[in-house]
């Protein structure tokens, strides 16, 4: 499901309803003013021409009586009325036509204004869609360029080392083992990149959907932290756990949200220096639940742009990783209609990724 498309449809629907209601109100007000003015301006003259014994006060009954009287006498005729009677009824008929035209004028103008407003809105939406499409094409081309860049280096390395082994240019057995290990490492790097690229394209496709159900977020956080604790320990990192005993439940796709938390923890472990402290926190604020993955490692100078594809924290392309992990994280969080933010600093930590969820 594409929440962006649904949001645009809702915005368009609200705009049309709002414009229609505003147009109706303005037309009704204009009609009231016009009918009052017609009674004040044309009423006395019509009474003089036809000697109508009706009051000048505004009422629907008065208008119906006037129109019925004038049309009956002008169209059907009532015997010998004389020249003055004919002229007076002709003038009165023209006045009635003019009055009806003035009454219809606000409706016509309102319809034109409403149609013009809708046309401008649709033109604006179409322009925004075209700009978004062009931006999507631009990002796609950039992504293809980045993928080619990230694949070219290991492929070149593998080709060079395998050619050297094939041509028996390496005689030392230890060097051969190093070459074979390096080929394995480079091929694994390519495999990891292709896997994460597949995940990115999958979660960003229109057909991708999530299956939400009640999830114990306490248990999920503890599980993911426990799974990655050995990796943190290898890098001499400390992992602080601040999860309350009170069970907090959210509606989520457990598999996808587990992936979000795992990706954030993996990033904290891989892209910080040894000895960094990582905090896994869960807290409730104003009826919402916040999942926080914080650390006292290096600051991320890219800020919120890190959630864009292939953007990395060091602004260069020398660091490990695909640059797609946080894009996948953001997409999954948005599909849940939750939010994720990078906060720098956060309490006593350098940075924190904060996911805000609705509590149930």
Tokens linked to 339 = 């939010």
Question: In this predicted model, what pLDDT tens digit does every residue of 94-125 receive, in sequence order?
Answer: 766 777 788 888 889 988 988 888 888 888 88
Question: In this predicted model, what pLDDT tens digit does every residue of 124-145 receive, in sequence order?
Answer: 888 888 888 888 777 777 777 7
Closest to 4 (Cα-Cα) out of 156, 143, 135: 135
What are the C-alpha distances in Å from 99 to residues 31, 38, 66? 11, 7, 12
- Greater model confidence, 183 or 63: 183
297 contacts 272 by C-beta, under 8 angstroms: yes
145-148-154-156 Cα dihedral, nearest 10 degrees: -110
DSSP state of 274: T
| Block residue for tokens 């309803």 | 17
* Residue burial 88-112, b: 16+ Cβ < 10 Å; e: rest: bbeebeebbeebeebeeebeeebee
- Domains in the chain (CATH in brackets) are 3-133 (no CATH), 213-358 (3.30.565.10)
β-strand pairing of 213-216 with 249-252: antiparallel
β-strand pairing of 351-358 with 288-295: antiparallel
Q: How many Å apart are CA 349 and CA 295, to the nearest integer?
A: 6
Q: What is the pLDDT of residue 318?
A: 46
Q: How many Å apart are CA 315 and CA 333, to the nearest integer?
A: 24
Question: In this predicted model, what pLDDT tens digit does every residue of 270-320 receive, in sequence order?
Answer: 889 999 999 999 998 888 999 999 999 888 876 566 777 655 554 444 445
CB atoms within 10 A of CB 115: 11
- Answer whether 0.75 is exceeded by the pTM: no
| Block residue for tokens 């230890």 | 174
CA max distance for the chain: 131
Task: With cut-offs at 50, 70 and 90, classify the pLDDT of residue 4.
Answer: very low
| Block residue for tokens 């933010």 | 341
306 contacts 342 by C-beta, under 8 angstroms: yes
Q: How many Å apart are CA 78 and CA 83, to the nearest integer?
A: 13
52 contacts 88 by C-beta, under 8 angstroms: no
DSSP state of 272: S
3-50 and 82-166 helices, crossing angle to 10°: 170
Q: Which of 49-58, 76-85, 227-236 has the lowest average pLDDT?
A: 76-85
Q: What is the pLDDT of residue 356?
A: 93
Alpha helices (H) along the chain: 3-50, 60-71, 82-166, 173-203, 217-234, 254-270, 325-335
260 contacts 199 by C-beta, under 8 angstroms: no
Q: How many Å apart are CA 302 and CA 307, to the nearest integer?
A: 9
CB atoms within 10 A of CB 176: 15
Question: In this predicted model, what pLDDT tens digit does every residue of 196-254 receive, in sequence order?
Answer: 778 777 777 666 778 899 999 999 999 999 999 999 999 999 999 999 988 889 999 99
Closest to 335 (Cα-Cα) out of 211, 249, 247, 182: 211
- Greater model confidence, 264 or 321: 264
Q: What is the CA radius of gyration of the chain?
A: 37
Percent of the chain with pLDDT over 90: 24
Q: What is the pLDDT of residue 67?
A: 63
225 contacts 237 by C-beta, under 8 angstroms: no
Tokens linked to 198 = 């597949």
């Amino acid at each position: 499901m594409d929440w962006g498309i649904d949001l645009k449809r809702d915005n368009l629907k609200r705009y049309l309803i709002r414009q229609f209601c505003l147009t109706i109100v303005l037309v009704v007000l204009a009609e009231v003013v016009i009918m009052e003015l017609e009674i004040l301006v044309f009423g006395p003259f019509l009474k003089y021409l036809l000697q109508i014994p009706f009051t000048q006060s505004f009422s629907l009954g008065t208008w119906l009586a006037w129109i019925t009287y004038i049309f009956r006498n002008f169209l059907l005729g009532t015997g010998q009325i004389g020249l003055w009677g004919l002229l007076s009824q002709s003038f009165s008929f023209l006045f009635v036509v003019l009055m009806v035209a003035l009454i219809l004028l606000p409706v016509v103008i309102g319809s034109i204004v409403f149609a013009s407003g809708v046309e401008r809105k649709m033109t604006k939406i179409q322009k925004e869609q075209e700009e978004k499409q062009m931006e999507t094409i631009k990002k796609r081309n950039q992504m293809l360029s980045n993928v080619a860049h990230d694949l070219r280096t290991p492929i070149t390395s593998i080709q060079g080392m395998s050619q050297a082994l094939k041509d028996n240019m390496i005689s030392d057995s230890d060097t051969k083992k190093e070459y074979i290990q390096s080929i394995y490492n480079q091929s694994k790097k390519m495999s990891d990149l292709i896997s994460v690229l597949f995940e990115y394209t999958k979660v960003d496709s229109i057909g991708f959907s999530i299956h939400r159900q009640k999830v114990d977020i306490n248990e999920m956080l503890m599980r993911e932290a426990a799974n990655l604790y050995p990796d943190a320990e290898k890098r001499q990192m400390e992992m602080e756990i601040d999860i309350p005993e009170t069970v907090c439940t959210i509606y989520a796709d457990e598999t996808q949200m587990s992936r979000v938390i795992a990706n954030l923890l993996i990033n904290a472990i891989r892209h910080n220096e040894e000895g960094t402290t990582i905090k896994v926190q869960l807290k409730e604020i104003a009826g919402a639940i916040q999942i926080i993955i914080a650390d006292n490692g290096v600051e991320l100078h890219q800020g919120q742009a890190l959630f864009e594809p292939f953007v990395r924290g060091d602004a260069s392309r020398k660091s490990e990783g695909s640059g797609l992990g946080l894009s996948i994280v953001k997409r999954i969080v948005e599909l849940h209609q939750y939010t994720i933010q990078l906060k720098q600093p956060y309490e006593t930590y350098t940075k924190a990724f904060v996911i805000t969820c609705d509590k149930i």
